[in-house]
Amino acid sequence: MKKILVVDDEESIRFLYKEELEEEGFIVELAQNGKEALDKLSFFKPDLITLDIKMPVMDGIEALKRIREMERHLPVVLCSAYGEYKQDFTTWASDAYIVKCADLTELKVTIRRLLGVL
């Protein structure tokens, strides 16, 4: 069973992602911001992280930087309402960039691809 850490400041989004991804057969842990995500990283040891960008306390970009310092190869999917940053996602060293939308098909396909599960 693969473990996914969902990081988002919106409670409803966290709830939706948890429901959807658990249904897909993943173990899901949630974090409200970048700092909480970093705290949970060591004991939860996720196989993949979905990371919102705009968050209080610590934003996604900062969190991504810290994560890369600790876990160089951990797949990180940036999930943001901002479509315009998509071109920059590789410079931020994420593995994928998804513009948030109600249809989670794209997210699920990307996660499966990155984890190598079909």
Partner 1 sequence: METSFAYDLLKSIIHLSTSHLPLETKLDQMLKSISDHFHSDRCLLLKPDQLKGNGLLLRFAQEGKPLWGDVEMDIDEGLSLPEVEELLLPGFAFLPLSGETSFLGFLYLGFLKNRYFSSEEKELLLLIAKEIGRTIQYDHLQKEAQKNASELIALQEIGKTITSTLKLEDLYEKILTTGLKILKARGGVLRIEDKRSGDLKIKFSLGGYDENPLDEKIAKRVFFTRTPFLLNHYSGEKCSSILCVPFLSGGQCYGTLTLYDKEAGSSTFDQRDFQLLLTMAHQTSFAIENALTHYETSSLAQDYEKRAKQLSTLWELNKALLTTVNFERILHLMLTAITIGDGLGFNRAMLFMLNEKEHTLDGTMAVGPDTSEEAGKIWSALSQKKGPLSGLLEQLSNSSPNHSQLNSLVRGIRIPIEREQCILSRTVLEGRPFNIQFPRYEEGWIQTSCGGQCHLSSEIGCSIGAQLGRDPRAYSFSTVPLWGKGKVIGVIVVDNLYNQNPITEEDLQFLSMFSNQAGLAIENALLYRNLEDLHRELKEMQSRLIHHEKMSALGELSSTIAHEIRNPLVSIGGFARRLYQSVPNEAPEKRYTQTIMTEVFRVEKILSDLLNYTRDESIAFREIKLQEVIEESLSMITNKFTEGKVEVVKQYSEGLPNVKGDYHQLKHAFFNLIDNSYQAMKGEGTLSIRIYPVEMNGSPFARVELEDTGKGIDPENLHNIFNPFYTTKDSNLGLGLPIFHKIITSHQGQIEVDNRPGEGVTFIITLPAMEASHEKDLSRRR
Residue of 19, 22, 39, 106 interacting with partner 1 (CB under 8 A): 19
What does the per-residue mask of binding to partner 1 show for 37-76, with x meaning CB under 8 A?
Answer: -----------------x----------------------
Contact yes or no for 100/53 (Cβ under 8 A): no
- Candidates 30-38, 43-51, 60-68, 79-87: pick the segment binding partner 1 (CB under 8 A): 79-87
Tokens 């593995």 sit on residue = 95
For the segment 91-110, give every residue that binds partner 1 (CB under 8 A): 99-104
Structure tokens at 72: 């160089």
Residue of 3, 20, 24, 32 interacting with partner 1 (CB under 8 A): 20
Buried-state track 47-83, b at ≥16 Cβ within 10 A, e below 16: bbbbbbbebeebbbbbbbeebeeeeeebbbbbbbeee
